[in-house]
């Protein structure tokens, strides 16, 4: 039985209320979910989130955790230029999370599902001794051969991102350090808890035929860009002064003595798209993208600030 109720707490009925299988699909209630094959290629991504490692029940609302556990997977679909078709949720709940916590978790998960019109078609609900464990799988679709890979960056292409970087990392710092909830801090915390996967932008970029490599930013570009460079066998230079950073992040960083660029580069969990394309692509798209660097044939990753190379590490950057 898909989405089994090994524990008995009426949770599946609640999930069924939120999700009805679309015409031509079979959802909760049999051994497997059933979907049409359709055209093109299938893509699949899955992420596991553990209490105490990826989230704390007393530091984020259940709705936020539900939202984000789906968002990080939809973002992987976006990173290939795909359309999400169905999601699958496995969740193990200790006794003290089996009532209101679980219901509110589903509210958040369903909110994002409905925003992108993607049905939950199955999963597994069970009990846990101590920690909440969550696994989300998303099945999507791309045109045959149309999925954007990490391995297709070419020297001379520009490096682009689809939005501000660093807000999520700033929000996490605010939570961990208990910073005063100014409007700017609350905006960063929201960016951390409620990332918006760039599904529409990913599809348009894949459809443009202009993109080389693409991925989503989960660990920060200092780490993520290296995956593209390695997979493509190229190098890059990144212009720290060109990285888009929100006014909120600048305000909060200046108040707390931090460099916004460092959070933008190393923080992660922004879930913006990072891609390479011919320079000038920004004039041929109907949504904003920001050039932050250039792919080079020379291997390695170089950081520049105001056209001067700088030494970058997780604590900051300095001129050589």
Q: Which stretch in 42-50, 170-178, 286-294, 295-303 sits in contact with its own copies by CB under 8 A?
A: 42-50
> Could you say which of 18, 54, 104, 226 contacts its own copies (CB under 8 A)?
54
Is residue 167 close enough to count as binding its own copies by CB under 8 A?
Answer: no
Query: What is the rounded CA–CA span in Å between residue 148 and residue 132?
Result: 33
User: In whole angstroms, what is the distance from residue 276 CA to residue 271 CA?
Assistant: 16
**Choice from 128, 182, 259, 296 touching its own copies (CB under 8 A):** 128
Minimum Å gap between C-beta 234 and its own copies is 16
Task: Decide whether 4 or 194 has the Cβ nearer to its own copies.
Answer: 4
Among 19, 21, 141, 166, binds its own copies (CB under 8 A): 141
Least Cβ distance, residue 297 to its own copies (angstroms): 23
The C-alpha atoms of residue 75 and residue 285 are separated, in whole angstroms, by 20
Residue tagged 């250039």 (tokens): 294
CA dihedral sign of residues 124, 126, 129, 134: positive
Query: Which of the residues 214 through 253 are near its own copies (CB under 8 A)?
Result: 215-216, 218, 227, 231
List 9, 41, 61, 250, residue binding its own copies (CB under 8 A): 41
CB 268 within 8 A of CB 218: yes
53 near its own copies (CB under 8 A): yes
Does position 147 bind its own copies by CB under 8 A?
yes
Contacts of 251 (CB under 8 A, 6+ apart): 184
Spell out a b/e string for 61-97, using b for 16 or more CB atoms within 10 Å of the CB, else e: ebbbbbbbbbbbbbbbbbbbbbbbbbbbbbbbbbeeb
Find the shortest distance in angstroms from Cβ 220 to its own copies: 13
x-marked contacts with its own copies along 19-38 as a string, rule CB under 8 A: -------x--xxxxxxxxxx
- For 36-57, b/e burial (b = at least 16 CB within 10 A) is eeeebeebebebebebeebbeb
Taking CB atoms within 8 Å and a gap of at least 24, the contacts of 175-180 are 175/59, 179/252, 179/256
User: Sign of the C-alpha dihedral, residues 292, 297, 298, 299?
Assistant: positive
Residue among 126 and 254 whose Cβ is closer to its own copies: 126
Q: Which of 13, 50, 99, 100 binds its own copies (CB under 8 A)?
A: 50
Residues 105-124 that bind its own copies (CB under 8 A): 121-124
- When asked if residue 137 is in the footprint of its own copies (CB under 8 A), the reply is yes
267: phi then psi, degrees, rounded to nearest 5: -75, -50
Nearer to its own copies, 36 or 209 (CB): 36
Range 77-106, binding its own copies (CB under 8 A): 77, 79-80, 82, 86, 88, 90-92
Q: Nearest 10 degrees: CA dihedral of 118, 122, 124, 125?
A: 70
Is residue 115 packed enough to be buried (19+ CB in 10 Å), middle (13-18) or exposed (0-12)? middle
76 binds its own copies (CB under 8 A): yes
- Interface contacts to its own copies, rule CB under 8 A: 1-2, 4, 26, 29-48, 50-54, 76-77, 79-80, 82, 86, 88, 90-92, 121-124, 126-131, 133, 135, 137, 139-142, 144, 147, 149-151, 215-216, 218, 227, 231
């Amino acid at each position: 039985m898909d989405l089994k109720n090994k524990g008995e707490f009426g949770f599946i009925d609640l999930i069924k209320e939120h999700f009805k299988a679309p015409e031509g699909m079979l959802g909760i209630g049999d051994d497997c979910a059933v979907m049409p094959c359709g055209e093109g290629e299938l893509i699949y991504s899955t992420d596991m989130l553990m209490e105490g490692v990826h989230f704390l029940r007393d530091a984020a609302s259940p709705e936020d955790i539900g939202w984000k556990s789906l968002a990080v997977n939809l973002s992987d679909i976006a990173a290939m230029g795909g359309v999400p078709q169905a999601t699958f949720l496995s969740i193990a709940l200790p006794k003290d999370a089996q009532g209101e916590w679980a219901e509110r978790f589903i509210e958040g998960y369903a909110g994002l599902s409905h925003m992108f019109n993607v049905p939950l078609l199955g999963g597994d609900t069970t009990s846990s001794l101590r920690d909440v464990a969550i696994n989300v799988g998303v099945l999507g679709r791309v045109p045959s051969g149309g999925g954007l890979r990490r391995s297709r960056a070419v020297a001379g292409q520009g490096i682009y991102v689809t939005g501000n970087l660093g807000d999520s990392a700033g929000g996490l710092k605010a939570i961990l350090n208990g910073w005063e909830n100014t409007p700017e801090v609350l905006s960063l915390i929201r960016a951390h808890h409620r990332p918006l996967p760039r599904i529409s932008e990913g599809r348009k970029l894949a459809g443009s035929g202009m993109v080389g490599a693409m991925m989503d930013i989960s660990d920060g570009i200092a780490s993520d860009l290296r995956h593209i460079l390695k997979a493509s066998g190229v190098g890059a230079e990144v212009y720290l002064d060109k990285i888009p950073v929100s006014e909120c992040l600048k305000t909060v960083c200046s108040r707390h003595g931090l460099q916004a660029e460092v959070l933008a580069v190393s923080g992660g969990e922004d879930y913006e798209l990072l891609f390479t394309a011919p320079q000038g692509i920004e004039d041929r798209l109907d949504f904003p993208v920001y050039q932050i660097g250039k792919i080079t044939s020379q291997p390695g990753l170089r950081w520049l600030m105001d056209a001067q190379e700088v030494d970058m590490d997780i604590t900051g950057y300095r001129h050589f």
